[in-house]
A and B are shown apart, each in its own frame.
Chain A
Amino acid sequence: MSDTLPRDTTLPAAEGVPAPAAPAPRSRRSEFLYFALRNPKLWIGGLVVLFFAVTAVVGPRLTDYGVQEYVGPPASPPSAEHWFGTTTFGQDVFTQFVHGLGASFIVGLLGGGIAAIVGMTVGFVAGYRGGIVDEVLNVMTNIVLVLPTLAVLIIIAAYLEVRGVVTEAVFIGLTSWPWAARAIRAQTFSLAARDFVDLARLTGVPTRKIILGEIAPNMSSYLFMTFILLFGGAILAAATLDFIGLGPTDGMSLGLMMNNAVLWSALQLGLWWWFVPPGLAIALIVGSLYFMNVGLDEVFNPRLRTT
C-alpha cells in the first residue's frame, strides 16, 4: 500500500532497506517510533493536522485586520488584498478563519481532553473494579448523561458576565464524557478478565499500572479514536453553542463562521469563500485524525504490521 503513496526523501530507511525478519529496535518506545515513521497514514494525517495548528498560530500575524472589523467591499471574492474574500458585511474571511481555527483547536483540545480524561478514568475504574464501585460510577454517568445541558448552560450564562473560549471548552468537556466512559468501561471489563491481568497481579504490579500498562495498550487505538470523536464533537458542540448565543461573548470560531454564513444566506448568494474554508478545515482536521487512528492501529497492534 505504501507504493501508491509519493515517496518521501526524508524517510530513506522506509523504502530501500528490505524488512528484517525480526526488527532490530530493542525498547518498546523506539520500536513504536520505528513503526510510526514507516506508517504513511500516521504521518500524512499528522502533517495535515500540524499544518492547521501552525496556521492557527502563525495566521493571526499575517493579517492586520480585526476579527469583526468592516475592512473591505462587502461580499467580494478572494483577492490579493483579502485572501479568502470578505463577508456580506465586508469583514475579512481570512482573519476570521485563522482566529476561528485557534479557538476551535482550543475548544477541541481542552474540551475533548477534559472529556477524554474524565471518561477514561471513570470507564477504567468502573470496568476494572466492578461491583459497587462500578454501580456508583454508573449512576454518576447516567446523571450526567440525562443532564439537560442546554438548561444548565443558560443558567451558567446568566451568572457569568464574560465567557471565554476556555469556559466553553471546560463546560463541553465536563458534559460530554458519559458515552466515552461507557465504551471504555465495556472494553476494560472484557480485558480485565484476561489471564495476563491476573498474571500482572501475581507479579505485584499495582492497580494503576495494570490499567495503564496492561489494559490501556490493548485499546490504545480505541482510546485515540475516542479522543478524536470527543475532539470533533467538542468543535461541533461549540459551533452549536456559539450559534444560539451561549458561546464566548467575544471572539470567533469555525463553527460561528459557518453558522454566520448560513444565517446570511452565503450558500444561496454564492459566497463560497465564506463557508468553504471553515467547513473544509473542520472536515480535514477530523478526517486526518481518523486517518491517523487507522495508522496508529497498525503501529500498536503487532499483528497488523506488514513486516
Chain B
Amino acid sequence: MLEFDSVTKEFRVGAFGRLTITAVDDVSFRIAPGEIVSLIGESGSGKSTIGRMILRLTPATKGTIRFDGVDVSTLGRKELKEYYRHVQGVFQDPFSSFNPVFKADRVFEMLRSQFYPDRSGSEWEDRVAKAVEDVGLNPVQVLNRYPHQLSGGQLQRMLLARALLLDLRLLVADEVISMLDASTRVGVLNLLAELRERGLSILFITHDLALGYYISDRTIILRRGSIVEMGDTRRVFQDPRHPYTQTLLASVPQMEWRWRDRPVSAAVPVDGDGTGDAEPVTVLEEVEPGHWVAVS
C-alpha cells in the first residue's frame, strides 16, 4: 500500500543554507494494509521527518514515496485532498495540535467543510458524536470546550476521532502517547491496536522499544537516518542481529532488574550525538525471510 523507496531528506541550515543535515538517508520500506509498523529510534534519528514526508508536510530530497503505486509528490491540490482522505497523522503534543483560540471540536468542523461540505448539521453532529464515543470519550464532556479545558489524553483521542471520520487507511502516529500520563497511555495504545481491526495500517513512531514491541507487527530500527534492522517484531526483539539493536535492547530497564544488578555489557554507550565518526556505507541484508540487517 505504502512504499518508501530509497528516500533521502536533507535539510539546508545555516546562513544561505551552506550546511546540510541528512535527516533521512536512503530509507526504503513498505507498509501493507492492516499492518502496524513501528519506527523506533532515538530522538533526532529522523523518525518524524519520515512521517512528515509520508504526510507530504515536507518534500523528500531524493527517492519516491508511493501510495497505491502513485508517487505522492506528483499529487495536485485535489488529489492531495483525496490522499488525505486516506492518510492522516496524529502528533506528539496534543496541545500544539489544537488552535488555542478556538474550541477543540473545531477540528471536526474543519474536516466537514473540507471533505463533507454537503453534510447537513444534525446528521453530521451525530456522526461526530459517534466517532467521539468510538474513541472512548463522552461527547458531553469534550465537545464545545476549549483545548485548555481538556486533558492531553482527551485531546489525543479527539484527534483519532477526527481521523476516523475520514475513510482512513493509513495513520501516521508520531509519538502520540509520549506526552500522556502513564494511566492514560495504555488506553490510547489499545485504541490504536483496535483500529487495526478496521483494516487500518499504522506507522507507529516511537523512541520507546517497549511500546513498539507491545503494538506492532513489524519493527524498523532507525539510527541517524538509516535503517539498521527491520523485520517481524518478535524476530527483531528476540533475535536482534545488528549490534546497535542489541545494545538498545540491552539498555531497556527491565521490571525485574534494579540498576545495580545490570550486567556490565549493557553499559556500552548506545549512541553518541553522531559527531566525528563517519558512518560507512551500509546495505541491508536479509538474514532470514523478512528480517533485514544493515551490514557495512
A to B CB contacts below 8 Å, 12 in the list: A28-B102, A194-B96, A198-B52, A199-B89, A199-B91, A202-B84, A202-B88, A203-B115, A204-B84, A204-B115, A218-B101, A302-B148
Within 8 A of A (CB), among B116-171: 144-146, 148, 159
Q: How far is the CA of A193 from the CA of B57 in the complex (A)?
A: 11
Q: Is A200 in contact with chain B by the CB < 8 A criterion?
A: yes
- Cβ of A199: which chain B residues have Cβ within 8 Å of it? 89, 91, 97, 107, 159
Given contacts A22-B144, A204-B81, A303-B148, contact A198 B99 (CB under 8 A): no
- Cβ of B193: which chain A residues have Cβ within 8 Å of it? none
Q: Is B111 in contact with chain A by the CB < 8 A criterion?
A: yes
- Cβ of B102: which chain A residues have Cβ within 8 Å of it? 28, 217
- Cβ of B107: which chain A residues have Cβ within 8 Å of it? 199, 203
- Cβ of B81: which chain A residues have Cβ within 8 Å of it? 204
> Do A201 and B96 touch across chains, with their CB atoms under 8 A apart?
no
Q: How far, in Å, is A4 (CB) from chain B's closest CB?
A: 28
Q: Chain A interface mostly helix, strand, loop or mixed?
A: helix
* Mask of A264-307 contacts with B, CB within 8 angstroms, 1/0: 00000000000000000000000000000000000011110000
> Do A202 and B115 touch across chains, with their CB atoms under 8 A apart?
no
Given contacts A202-B89, A203-B84, A205-B114, contact A195 B96 (CB under 8 A): yes
Q: How far, in Å, is B245 (CB) from chain A's closest CB?
A: 30
Q: Which of A198, A214, A300, A302 contacts B89 (CB 8 A)?
A: A198
> Do B148 and A196 touch across chains, with their CB atoms under 8 A apart?
no
Given contacts A202-B89, A203-B111, contact A303 B100 (CB under 8 A): yes
Q: How far is the CA of A206 from the CA of B113 in the complex (A)?
A: 12
- Cβ of A206: which chain B residues have Cβ within 8 Å of it? 77
Q: How far is the CA of A40 from the CA of B91 in the complex (A)?
A: 40
> Do A195 and B110 touch across chains, with their CB atoms under 8 A apart?
no
> Do B99 and A217 touch across chains, with their CB atoms under 8 A apart?
yes
> Do A302 and B100 touch across chains, with their CB atoms under 8 A apart?
yes
Q: How far is the CA of A206 from the CA of B88 in the complex (A)?
A: 17
Q: How far, in Å, is A179 (CB) from chain B's closest CB?
A: 23
Return the chain B residue nearest A196 by Cβ. B99
Q: Which of B84, B91, B144, B146 contacts A195 (CB 8 A)?
A: B91
Q: How far is the CA of A300 from the CA of B146 in the complex (A)?
A: 13
Q: How far is the CA of A205 from the CA of B91 in the complex (A)?
A: 18
**17 other A-B residue contacts (CB within 8 Å) besides A196-B99, A203-B84:** A194-B96, A195-B92, A198-B52, A198-B89, A199-B107, A199-B159, A200-B110, A202-B55, A202-B89, A203-B111, A217-B102, A218-B100, A220-B101, A300-B101, A301-B100, A302-B100, A303-B100
Q: How far is the CA of A203 from the CA of B88 in the complex (A)?
A: 9
Q: How far, in Å, is B108 (CB) from chain A's closest CB?
A: 10
- Cβ of B3: which chain A residues have Cβ within 8 Å of it? none
Q: Which of A22, A201, A218, A220 contacts B99 (CB 8 A)?
A: A218
* Mask of B69-105 contacts with A, CB within 8 angstroms, 1/0: 0000000010011001000110111001111111000
Within 8 A of B (CB), among A100-159: none
- Cβ of A196: which chain B residues have Cβ within 8 Å of it? 96-99
Return the chain B residue nearest A198 by Cβ. B57
